[in-house]
Amino acid sequence: MSGEFYDASVEKMGRDELMALQSRRLVSQVHRIYENAPFYREKWDAAGVHPDDIRSIEDITKLPFVRKEELREAQERYGQFGRLATAPRETWAELHPSTGTTGRQVGTLWTKGDVERITDFTARLLWMQGVRSHHVIQNGFSLGLWVAGIAVHYAAQRLGAFTIPIGAISAEKQIEMFQEWRSDVFFATPSFGVYIAKRMADKGLSGKDIPLSLGSFGGEPGAEVEATRRLLEEGLGITALDIYGLAEIGPTMAAECGAKSGLHWTEDHHYVEIVDPTTGEPVPEGKQGVLVITHLTREGTPMIRYWTNDIARLDTATCACGRTHARSPGGILGRVDDLIIVKGTNFYPAQVEEVVRGTPGLADEFRLRIKDTGAGFVDCTLVVEVEAQGEATDILTRLRRAVKERIGVTLPVETVPVGTLERTEFKARRVIREKSSA
């Protein structure tokens, strides 16, 4: 833990050596899981695959995907961890359920060993982003049972930094703590960061009035959307970087370095695939598809080929920072279930976000209102807030033109008064799906 690297032997490991490590860990993992988790044993038996068939990381495609619906169904039927837990009871340390925003919460188990590993690779990611022992970290990720904030807290302690575990409380309190405790590193969702910057501006404050220098933003796409990054950096006076996690896999398993060249994966602990959303087959490197993640070292409730529903791409070239682990340029590009198809054109909300937040005269929030018109067709209306009312006509003309150039289709635009669209301390929900009244 010195200089640019937290652990250079891991972060600069050659690709062949890294794949050999992944192969050893996968082979060990599938044998342990088959012996201890009826969920996987029955699933793999039904698919006609046995752990002895897995001899290297390349054999991972023989194993079936695991989807969140299966986890939810197993836990509804069998309770607690749904026969996925693979570690002895005496090793259990923490429960971390998903948020349950789209159904029953899915419980995940961390053993004592899991806590140690999660703490260590999260500390590695924070170090890569520039966090050091002299920093004051204001952790604005949600805390409690939900997974977002706890790993950052553990990692900050590992690095020896002074930490304020404030959680996702009000913007006003966050600003007050910036000023009183001289916080210089901030963790939050990008939506919350943008909202705080707006509240500061309303108070006549700018980034020059607070000591922040670095922000790490996750929990939703956005930090690598350049228009959103610009709002964060200019509004808070920081360098804004991306960090990624999800409850079923872990809170923080990928992050962006100072080169801003995409999310760096912790490939010694997680095997990352990008597959075609329809066929499930691997896509060529650099092409976008569904992100699939496998735990190589998780003990509690390991996920093998977990279908995240997130859209990303993969690049295995060495980064300008010198790290060799694969990256996802642009971060998370969207979610499969957020894909919008209008007049045969596919796009994601993040593409619209880039346009809205890059259009002067508009407030930073927006909504996409989707109405099912039947026969597989939808109407999509873009809802925005116009700050410069005297220039509304010109602003909306530029907006419509920019949207058409960015996504390839013209969207109807509706305006509402500034402040109408909810700002949130947690994940923003910008897609509103309505059913036709017909």
Average pLDDT over residues 145-167: 91
The 8-class DSSP code of residue 106 comes to -
Instruction: Give a yes or no: residue 257 inside a domain.
Output: no
Whether residue 425 lies inside any domain: the answer is: yes
State how far the Cα of 300 lies from the Cα of 87, in Å rounded to an integer: 5
pLDDT at 436 over 80: no
Q: Give the single-character DSSP code of 378.
A: E
- Compare 99 and 143 and report the one with higher pLDDT: 143
Is position 286 within any domain?
Answer: no
H or E stretch covering 201: helix 190-202
pTM: 0.87
pLDDT surpasses 90 at 35:
yes
Residue 59 DSSP class: G
Tell which residue, 219, 235, 176, has the closest CA to residue 364.
235
Contacts of 330 (CB under 8 A, 6+ apart): 224, 262, 312, 313
Q: Provide the phi-psi class of 322: left if phi over 0, else alpha when psi is between -120 and 50, else beta.
A: left
Is 176 among the domain residues?
Answer: no
Residue 326 has pLDDT above 60, yes or no: yes
Q: Which structural domain range is residue 429 located in? A: 339-435
Contact 434, 371 (CB under 8 A): yes
The predicted pLDDT at position 29 comes to 98
Q: How far is CA 325 from CA 221, 254, 310, in A?
A: 21, 10, 19
Within-domain flag for 30 = no
The reply to whether 391 falls in a domain is: yes
Mean pLDDT for 255-278 is 97
357 occurs within a structural domain: yes
pLDDT band at 344; cut points 50, 70, 90: confident
**Full DSSP string of 119-185:** HHHHHHHHHHHT--TT-EEEE-S--SSSSTTHHHHHHHHHTT-EEE---S--HHHHHHHHHHH---E
Looking from the CA of 346 toward its CB, the CA atoms found within 13 Å total 7
368 close to 351: Cβ distance less than 8 angstroms: no
Q: Please, what's the b/e burial string for 380-396 (b: 16 or more CB within 10 A of its CB; e: otherwise)?
A: bebbbbbeeeeeeeebb
| CATH number of the domain where residue 366 is located | 3.30.300.30
Number of compact structural domains in the chain: 1
- Which residues are within 8 A (CB) of 235 and not within 5 positions of it... i.e. 6 or more apart? 193, 194, 196, 197, 198, 200, 201, 206, 207
Q: What is the pLDDT of residue 254?
A: 98
Q: What percent of the chain has pLDDT over 70?
A: 95
In tens, the pLDDT along 66-88 reads: 999 999 999 999 988 999 999 99
Q: What is the pLDDT of residue 219?
A: 86
Percent of the chain with pLDDT over 90: 79
Has residue 145 got a pLDDT over 70?
A: no
Question: What pLDDT is stored for residue 376 in this prediction?
Answer: 61
**Residue 41: what are its φ and ψ, rounded to 5°?**
-60, -45
Residue 241 banded pLDDT, cuts 50, 70, 90: very high
Mean pLDDT within 8-36: 98
**pLDDT by residue (tens digit) across 216-225?**
999 888 899 9
Q: Is the pLDDT of residue 319 over 60?
A: yes
- Give the pLDDT confidence score for residue 338 in this predicted structure: 83
Chain-centre distance for alpha carbon 182 = 27
Is 369 part of any domain?
yes
131 touches 260 (CB < 8 A): no
Q: What confidence tier does 343 reach under pLDDT thresholds 50, 70, 90?
A: confident
